[in-house]
Every structure is written in structure tokens, then in C-alpha cells.
Amino acid sequence: MNDNLHQLRCFGCGARISGSEARPDFRCANCGDLFEVEYPGWLSRQGHDRPNPGALKWLWRERRCSSETLDQSGVWRFRELLPILNNFGNAVTLLEGNTPLYPLPRAARALGIDQLFAKHQGMNPTGSFKDTGMTAALSVARERSFEWVACASTGNTSAAMAAYAARAGLRSLVLIPEGKIAWGKLSQAMDYGAVTCQLKTDFDGCVKVLAQIVQEAPIYLLNSVNPYRLEGQKTPAFEIAEAFDWNVPDHLIVPGGNLANSSALGKGFRELRELGLVARMPRISVIQAEGANPLVQSFAKFQGEKIEPVEAHTRASAIRIGNPASWRKAAQAVKETGGWCLDVTETEIAIAKAELGAEGLGCEPASAVTLGGLKKLRADGKIAPAETVVLLLTGHTLKDADYTINFHRGTLLEQREASGHEQAIDALRRDAVSVDATPAAVLAAMKDAAL
Ligand code: F0G
């Protein structure tokens, strides 16, 4: 039996092609826009490939107790909604997904909302949400017999790609902006055996170089222009819906960089609604760093219809992206769900990250924009106290330990950035202290900290 039920549809001009017809750069030959995966058998209510909602909800839950490898993956557990492979036996998995949904009672209390949760995608095998997309797209690469896979990255995509390629026995090529990614992520690409090239440019420059390379050599591109990445990255939407017993939360808040994740989650919830698994979609809001906010500017100037690239600057290096590939898809998700797109300052990111840390939930700076954004939305009256809100945390705190240590040592922010926020920052800072190796000195340090 062939498990493959998909085709590709251009997001710009609507042209439809089969999966095998996609160009190496995954751009539409007619208009240059990106493709998205669609499943024609789902389109009509009588379509015989159209999944049965009740049966699926039961099956997916049952699989959580299964000992089959594919069932243990939080992506492939939902494989009926991503039939992209000829044979699911070709899936390359590290048992990604099934990530925790944590309540955030302290932040909820401070913000005056009843129900606040963090869906922690940093709890994936390589420490970021990229694993869910990589298991899907790398499996396609393996099924199509590629020997090499490649990506340009701010660090997490490359870590995920290198790991999944290693599992599949494929070679991987990583292009990263020199000196601009966190050490934790660079170390992963090295450890998983990628050919890692640091280019003297930014992320957007790496993307350009790679687009040329894949035209010249048989290398499978695994950046999020690859529509199969988004098929994996839509599955946290299914997990969230399932966790709320198929009553979706009111609001989902997602960081925005290259804008694939918000696009994918939008697609996931849209498909659940279209197939009758949920009654509505949550609002989806996208939060960017102030210095890397092309989508925010696009909404402010062009109602999300057009984008102008920016030169990106932020310490949240994962989202230091000025020319996001999936902006059109993300704008659609925000618009159709009635969400918002806004930005937060470097100081707001640092404080939000430390607040999440103080609740026992570390995350990357790029993930903390979600809490920073929530505070602004709440202050603007855009979120009511009775609403249920989920923050999507995208990366593990250990990815960028330097950032965290600098914050707690007081060396992260410049004086002008900290100015006016000293009280909030001081309340959160926990620098390590040097003490004599005696019980009395340690007890004295505890006493000092309690003051
Ligand atoms: N958070 C983290 C931790 C990320 O690594 C990224 C993107 C994002 C948020 C933004 O997601 O791009 O889908 O809007 N990281 C990329 C990378 C681009 O190369 O690892 P997005």
C-alpha cells in the first residue's frame, strides 16, 4: 500500500504539482513563491481518504501506550494527517514531540489571567521545536535517496538536521553566520558530524548562498522553504488540541523568525478545524524582537500584504532574521485567527526569560519573546482574564547558556537598556557567589540571599 496522499500547492499562484516535481530550491517555477502540502482526498466530505475524527482521536491516544517506534513519536503518532511518505517505514525518528504542556501559575497571577500554559518544544531530542519538522522532511530526503542534506541556520535547524541525518546515515552540510550562533547549537552540529561552514555573512546571506548550491549539486534542502518541514511542525497543534480535550485554547503566542513555525501551527489548527476535529482555531499571535521585526513592520505599513527586509539585530540569535521566507503564510495565520503581530525590546526579552526561569522553565531568549508579547497584549486589553493562553517555548535553556549567565552577572544589558527596569532586573538576578569552603560561609551566603 502507498501511504502517500499529498500534492504541493503554490501559496502564491495556486499552481499544483506532485511532490517529486518540486525544484531543488522549493520555489514555484511560475511565481517564485513557496509551496504547501495539501491532501486532495480530504477536500470533499465524501472523499474516501478523508480521516474520521472520532476514530482518529481514539487511535492517537491509544498509540501513546504502544511499543511501536512510530507510535512513540509525537509526530508520527499523527501520521494520518501527514501522509507525505510512500511508506511510513522510511520515517527517520528520534522519538520527537509529545512535549510537556506546563501551567505557569506565577506568571498567570502576575498578569491577572486564569489559565496560562507553556508548550515546551525545547524538550525535544535536540532541544528545539525543529525536531518535529526535521523528522518529516529528512524522512522524505531518505525516501527519495538523497545522500546529502543541507540547511542555512541560526543554529537550531542545523542541530536538528545534523542529528536526524546522522541517524539516517546521510551526510549533512550546515551554513551558519560566523560568530552569530550560540555555542550549544554549534557544538551539536559538530557532534552529529555535519560539515559545518561558518560564512562571513548573516543568516539571510547564508540562505542566499545555499539556494545557489542546491541548484548545482544533488543536495536536499532542509530549510523551512521545504514544505515537508511544516508538516512535522504542525503536529504540536494536534498535541495542544488533544491536551485540551479538543477544545482549543483561546490564544497561542509564538515567536517569529523565519516565520515557518507560526505558519505550520496555523496549518495544523486549520486542518483540525476543516476535518471536524475541533470547532475553531485559537488566535495566533506572532512576536518578534524589536531589532528583527519585518513582519511587525509589514502589518504596520502594508496590512501584512507585503514585506520589506530589515537588517536584523537582536541578542536572541535564533530569530536574528531580516528577510523571513514564510512571511506570507504566517501573515495568513495571524489574520485568519484574529491574532496580533508585535515586537518586544531586548530588555523585555531578558526579563521575560528570567521570569520563566524563576518558574523552573528555562528557555532560549527567542522563546521568551512570547511572555514579553503576552504582557503587552494583556496591558493593551487584548487578552481578557478568562482566556486560556498557551505560550510556545521553542528552545531549551542550555542552547544559549552564555546569555543566561550574562543576565545573572549583570553583563548582558547595557545601562541604557536596563535604565528604568532596575528593580525588575535586580529581583530576578541570581549571580553565583564565591564563598569560603566552610559551612559557616555557605550558611552566611544563604542568609544574604534571603534578605
Ligand atoms: N525560536 C527558536 C529557538 C528558533 O531557533 C527559531 C528559528 C525560532 C524561534 C523562530 O522560528 O523561524 O519558524 O519563525 N530558528 C531557525 C534556525 C531559523 O535556523 O534554527 P521560525
Q: pLDDT tens-digit profile of 349-400?
A: 999 999 999 999 999 999 999 999 999 999 999 999 999 999 999 999 999 9
Average per-residue pLDDT for the chain? 96
pLDDT at 232: 98
By most ligand atoms within 8 Å of CB, the mutation choice from 204, 254, 319, 397 for ligand 1 is 319
pLDDT at 1: 61
Of the chain, the end-to-end C-alpha distance in Å amounts to 68
E-state strands within 135-184: 148-152, 171-177
Which residues neighbour 115 within 8 Å (Cβ) at sequence distance 6 or greater? 103, 108, 249, 387, 388, 389
Residue % of the chain over a pLDDT of 90: 95
Q: b/e for 194-214, b at 16 or more Cβ within 10 A?
A: bebeebebbbbbbbeebbebb
Strand order in the sheet with 148-152: 195-199, 171-177, 148-152, 219-221
**Ligand 1 atom with least separation from CA of 258:** 12
pLDDT at 157: 98
Please give the grid coordinates belonging to residue 225: 522553504
Nearest 5°: CA angle at 169, between 166 and 175?
Answer: 50
| CA pair distance 258, 321, nearest whole angstrom | 6
pLDDT higher than 70, residue 237: yes
| CA pair distance 220, 225, nearest whole angstrom | 12
Q: Are 121 and 98 in contact (CB under 8 A)?
A: no
What value does the mean pLDDT take over residues 118-147? 98
pLDDT higher than 90, residue 3: no
Which residue is closest in CA terms to ligand 1's atom 7?
318
Cα(319) to ligand 1 centroid in Å equals: 6
**Beta-strand pair 7-10/35-38:** antiparallel
Instruction: Note the pLDDT tens digit of each residue in 256-280.
Output: 999 999 999 999 999 999 999 999 9
Residue showing cell 527567542: 366
pLDDT at 51: 87
Q: Verify whether ligand 1 is closer than 6 Å to residue 163 (CB atom).
A: no
Instruction: Note the pLDDT tens digit of each residue in 82-112.
Output: 999 999 999 999 999 999 999 999 999 999 9
Please give the grid coordinates belonging to residue 111: 498578569
Please give the grid coordinates belonging to residue 138: 529528512
**Ligand 1 atom with least separation from CA of 156:** 20
What value does the mean pLDDT take over residues 58-66? 97
Specify which residues 35 forms β-bridges with.
10
Which residue is closest in CA terms to ligand 1's atom 3?
395
Nearest 5°: CA angle at 101, between 367 and 121?
Answer: 40
CA 108 vs. chain centroid, Å, equals 23
Q: Verify whether ligand 1 is closer than 6 Å to residue 104 (CB atom).
A: no
CA 155 vs. chain centroid, Å, equals 12
By most ligand atoms within 8 Å of CB, the mutation choice from 158, 267, 321, 394 for ligand 1 is 394
Q: Verify whether ligand 1 is closer than 6 Å to residue 227 (CB atom).
A: no
Q: Verify whether ligand 1 is closer than 6 Å to residue 74 (CB atom).
A: no
**Ligand 1 atom with least separation from CA of 151:** 19
Dihedral sign computed on CA atoms, order 251, 279, 120, 394: negative
φ and ψ at 266, to 5 degrees? -60, -45
Cα(436) to ligand 1 centroid in Å equals: 43
Q: Are 73 and 135 in contact (CB under 8 A)?
A: yes
Helix, strand, coil content of the chain in percent (nearest 5): 45, 15, 40
Q: Verify whether ligand 1 is closer than 6 Å to residue 177 (CB atom).
A: no
**Ligand 1 atom with least separation from CA of 286:** 14
DSSP-assigned letter for residue 99? -
DSSP-assigned letter for residue 54? H
Specify which residues 174 forms β-bridges with.
151, 196
By most ligand atoms within 8 Å of CB, the mutation choice from 128, 185, 404 for ligand 1 is 128
| CA pair distance 312, 104, nearest whole angstrom | 31
